[in-house]
Structure 1
Amino acid sequence: MAGGVGTHERGGRRGRGTALVAALGALTLLFGVLVSVVGGAGEAQAATVTGQIGNYGGGCLENANNSTATNNPQQLNYCGTGLGQQWSRYSDGTIRVQGGCIDTLNGGTGNGTRVVLVVCSATSTSQKWTLLASGVVQNQKSARCLAPLNNQVYARVAVTIATCVNTNAQKWALPALSTPTTTTTTPPPPTTTTTAPPTTTTTVPPTTTTVPPTTTTTVPPTTTTTVPPTTTTTPPTTTTTPPPNQTTQVWDSGFTASGFDNFDDTPWNDVGASAPVIVNSPVTPGAKAAQFTMPAKGTRTEIVPTTAEFTEGQDRWFRFSFVLGANFPTQVTTWQVLTQWKNDGDGSPPLEITAGRGNLNLEGGYGYPGTPRTFAQTLAPAVIGQRTDLIVHVFFSRDPSKGTVDVWDNGAQVLTGYKPAGGTLYPTSKASTATLSSYWKMGIYRDSAITQQAQYTIESAKVGNTRAQVS
């Protein structure tokens, strides 16, 4: 997908996905048609047409994370077969997915207002959309058009409403209209009443019962022994309630068995560099690894795990194992990212691990909405030619007093309970860095001013709810 890579300046260097699909001519939209026939006399057949909504610039409209929560954000992403990309367009103007309708956030009409999923309403004009002949989809309340944020086309960019302009980023290919169900009333068949035959009553003669005389037996007095009371101590019951948002999340890169199967679909996120390749691990016999090569003045070559995003209050563990090549430029004095936890939206991420000035560093906060809240923590020396195992523990929160990071380098803890100045998620705002979640991506992303070639391999990457799951 062309465009949407952001600038090469530090403050805006984290745009995601530079090439989802090259152009509409290369975009294959597989519109699935589901026809539901309502049986029975007097009822018309009704057809619901479902399929992808493809963007002319590339990619497809998606209900983020397949969530049906009210105000769940909509995004542009790689075209796939998930439920969040199975859309239906109705003659009442609504566009529906997973039982809900897309709307502007709180019915807003301003430029850049987020598009979200809500409960369908028959009276809300902000839920009504008009497909114009030019391919733009216009919101009937605001007269603005459906568009990725800032008309930039890259993976998981937020979808908004924007001033309508003649650009492929605002043009969409939609499924055909769905036919509403029409029901007619058929008179019920006549009711047949059956008269029961008369009931015959039989009189039963009375029964005479003779009760034998009662014999009374005198029972001798009973001796009662008093047993001292027994004291039973019941141990207290401990109930462990999992904290909120701690859904099970376990993911493994699995390069040896699966290649790139556990990552988002190609094309990769490449600018001025070739796509990564699967190679034999340089340090582990019989294992496979993902190799990234960056030529002089290249900018990025990255991949994105196919796993759920990270939201407020989630506690997650990550393993990131890699080998820096023999000529990897560890002494650069500008930015050079190895992996990052990227906010949904444009701009620099809340958390990133960089290689520079001879060290591995935890950095972030450059893209904090409004005013940057930057930080940098040295983790360990950047060693070339041998495997480095990082375990990173993150409590995700927009609140800087709650969001924390712990890091282990080759088993030794090098950062404990660190609280980044801007939190471990960015707060939601109208800025381009507005977000409800972050996602993980890895590879090389660096300043185009760097003239040395760089190459490294990722040996293993994991996500889990506990340290044991990623060890």
Structure 2
Amino acid sequence: MTGKVDDVGRGIHGRRAAVVAALGVIALVIAALATGIGPGRAEAAVVTGRIADYAGGCLENANNATTANNPQQLNTCGTGAGQQWSRYSDGTLRVQGKCADLRSGATTANTRVVLATCSTTSTSQRWTLYANGFVQNQKSGTCLAPLGNQIYAKVAVTVTTCANVNAQKWALPAVPTTTVAPTTTPKPTTTTPKPTTVAPTTTPKPTAAPPTTAPPTTASPVPTQTSQTWNSDFSASGFGRFDDTPWNNVGASAPTIISSPVTSGAKAAQFTMPAGGTRTEIVPTTAEFTEGQERWFRFSFYLPAGFPTQVNSWQVLTQWKNDGEGSPPLEITAGSGNLKLEGGYGYPGTPQTFSQVIGPATTGKRTDLIVHVVFSRDPSRGTVDVWRDGTQAISGYKPTGGTLYPTTAASTDTVASYWKMGIYRDSAITQQAQYTIEGAKVGNTAAQVSN
């Protein structure tokens, strides 16, 4: 795979570039507001800082990308541009010159929070901030929260029904001062009122006293999950269990949900790569994989007749990608007629490359891989086992660079990896490629992913 271009990470991420360690103390203050502040006031001395979740971590514009609908996520608190938020007196929350918004203006629970060009009229960009930590969207009446109120690195940030949990409480930068005296520029009477349907009766009123848990005053780390399970569930959820990663389509269209070519009544994700294209991939909404974790993965896919299995350049079907840039520690490729476990090309300093044949890259039938990984920077601990269609093909393999990359003094990348799947390949390949992912799972044991 000599000459392979750098992959882009999802962390602060290609969706994700580098997560930096918490540095120092930043005072994040919540003003005791009962309603949003209307538009029309001049801004001065805008305060910029992190939006910290009471349960840990900070709101982040993924990969510092400013493209439309770039997703927002929870991540380890740092100093990157994607975590430098400003709270404007028109009710907007701004980062990198754009505003936090609801994707497509939707108001349903679990709608993703995304980046959008700031608007003077969009109520979905207006947020009401309360002294007890709630951040309520003025259009939907729902509250800012990590998906499922889960706290882990790179979990998507959404809006959902307000609930008295720390995951839905945030510490924000101070509201900016104004150059116009309040007596000369009164609060507009047309300010969007607080929605009356903010939450069920079990939800504390936004005017209630602040919780006993104090707002974070230091950079809060995101806890590492000790266990996790996940299922792609294309038939019931489409792409609902995947992050929104538009930057993962380069020279190719986004994947689509189709009827499975091999399983009657089921749905599958189809990926199409034209000649000269580079990337069409998706990222599961799961926690990252960190030092010492042991995980099992099921990856079921179908290569139709005509899939270019004989290419001699790199062609990735799935990868366990390090945060930040560079080729991943672990990937499964199709080329020279075989499926292969490869990696190590992006190891900091001197590449620690390897290639292990899993078996023939068979077309016209479904292939089921089970991959067992012990994630570690230590080559004596990092281990990979692979089963193909029920038969073990790789046993106890220890990559020379480990199954995670270490950081370097010159790098801000973390030692975590995450899972990506789809097609990522050399743009010099002139043959079209198309295949379907029939299903994917993550588990803590072999039994959890066995079927």
The verdict on a shared fold, with TM-score over 0.5 as the criterion, is: yes
- Shifted more, 422-431 versus 276-285: the winner is 422-431
Q: Which amino acid aligns with 2:236?
A: A
Q: Judging changes above 3 Å, is the alpha-carbon distance between structure 1 residues 297 and 286 closer, same or farther for their aligned structure 2 residues?
A: same
The answer to whether the aligner puts 1:324 opposite 2:326 as a matched pair is: no
Distance 1:49 1:369 in 2: 30
Corresponding residue for 1:368? Answer: 347
Which residues of structure 1 form unaligned runs of 5+? 1-7, 21-32, 39-47, 78-84, 91-154, 157-174, 181-243
Distance 1:416 1:304 in 2: 27
1:148-163 alignment runs, 5 A limit: none
Among 315, 321, 328, the alignment partner of 1:342 is 321
Distance 2:306 2:358 in 1: 21
The answer to whether the aligner puts 1:57 opposite 2:73 as a matched pair is: no
CA contact (8 A) 2:71 2:244 kept: no
Among 12, 23, 31, the alignment partner of 2:6 is 12
Shift of 1:266: 4.7
The answer to whether the aligner puts 1:428 opposite 2:407 as a matched pair is: yes
Q: Which amino acid aligns with 2:428?
A: A
Q: Judging changes above 3 Å, is the alpha-carbon distance between structure 1 residues 268 and 258 closer, same or farther for their aligned structure 2 residues?
A: farther
Corresponding residue for 1:177? Answer: 174
Deviation track 1:247-273 (CA, whole Å, cap 9, x = no partner) reads 220000010000000000252511100
Corresponding residue for 1:378? Answer: 357
Q: Which amino acid aligns with 1:467?
A: A
Distance 1:11 1:419 in 2: 25
CA contact (8 A) 1:14 1:349 kept: no
* CA RMSD, Structure 1 to Structure 2 (Å): 3.6
Q: Secondary structure of the equivalent of 1:413?
A: strand
1:164-313 alignment runs, 5 A limit: 177-178=174-175, 247-267=226-246, 269-313=248-292
Q: Which amino acid aligns with 2:7?
A: R
1:450-461 alignment runs, 5 A limit: 450-461=429-440
Corresponding residue for 2:212? Answer: none
Corresponding residue for 1:399? Answer: 378
Distance 2:245 2:399 in 1: 33
Q: Judging changes above 3 Å, is the alpha-carbon distance between structure 1 residues 428 and 49 closer, same or farther for their aligned structure 2 residues?
A: closer
1:35-50 alignment runs, 5 A limit: 36=32
Q: Secondary structure of the equivalent of 1:430?
A: coil
Larger Rg: 1
Q: Which has the higher contact order (CA 8 A, sep 6+)?
A: 2
Corresponding residue for 1:45? Answer: none
Distance 2:244 2:426 in 1: 25
CA contact (8 A) 1:11 1:367 kept: no
Shift of 1:35: 5.1
Corresponding residue for 1:419? Answer: 398
CA contact (8 A) 1:321 1:458 kept: yes
Q: Judging changes above 3 Å, is the alpha-carbon distance between structure 1 residues 433 and 387 closer, same or farther for their aligned structure 2 residues?
A: farther
Shift of 1:442: 0.3
1:16-31 alignment runs, 5 A limit: 16=10
Q: Judging changes above 3 Å, is the alpha-carbon distance between structure 1 residues 62 and 258 closer, same or farther for their aligned structure 2 residues?
A: closer
Q: Which amino acid aligns with 2:436?
A: T
CA contact (8 A) 2:60 2:74 kept: no
Q: Which amino acid aligns with 2:362?
A: V
Deviation track 1:119-147 (CA, whole Å, cap 9, x = no partner) reads xxxxxxxxxxxxxxxxxxxxxxxxxxxxx
Distance 1:382 1:428 in 2: 34
1:58-137 alignment runs, 5 A limit: 58=67, 59=70, 63-64=74-75
Q: Judging changes above 3 Å, is the alpha-carbon distance between structure 1 residues 462 and 451 closer, same or farther for their aligned structure 2 residues?
A: same
Q: Which amino acid aligns with 1:341?
A: W
Q: Secondary structure of the equivalent of 1:456?
A: strand
Among 359, 365, 375, the alignment partner of 2:338 is 359
Shift of 1:436: 2.2
Q: Secondary structure of the equivalent of 1:36?
A: coil
Shift of 1:452: 0.4
Shift of 1:439: 0.4
Corresponding residue for 2:446? Answer: 467
Distance 2:287 2:404 in 1: 15
* TM-score normalised by length of structure 1: 0.55
Q: Judging changes above 3 Å, is the alpha-carbon distance between structure 1 residues 431 and 406 closer, same or farther for their aligned structure 2 residues?
A: farther
Q: Which amino acid aligns with 2:66?
A: G
Distance 1:374 1:50 in 2: 40
Distance 2:439 2:447 in 1: 15
Distance 2:269 2:296 in 1: 21
CA contact (8 A) 2:321 2:328 kept: yes
Corresponding residue for 1:125? Answer: none
Distance 1:295 1:403 in 2: 36
CA contact (8 A) 1:299 1:447 kept: yes
What is the percent sequence identity of the aligned residues? 67
CA contact (8 A) 1:62 1:76 kept: no
CA contact (8 A) 1:343 1:433 kept: no
Q: Secondary structure of the equivalent of 1:257?
A: helix
Q: Judging changes above 3 Å, is the alpha-carbon distance between structure 1 residues 450 and 465 closer, same or farther for their aligned structure 2 residues?
A: same
CA contact (8 A) 2:249 2:280 kept: yes
Shift of 1:53: 6.6
Q: Which amino acid aligns with 1:280?
A: S
Q: Judging changes above 3 Å, is the alpha-carbon distance between structure 1 residues 342 and 75 closer, same or farther for their aligned structure 2 residues?
A: farther
Shift of 1:390: 0.2
Distance 2:444 2:79 in 1: 26
Distance 1:355 1:462 in 2: 20
Shift of 1:9: 3.7
CA contact (8 A) 1:426 1:434 kept: no
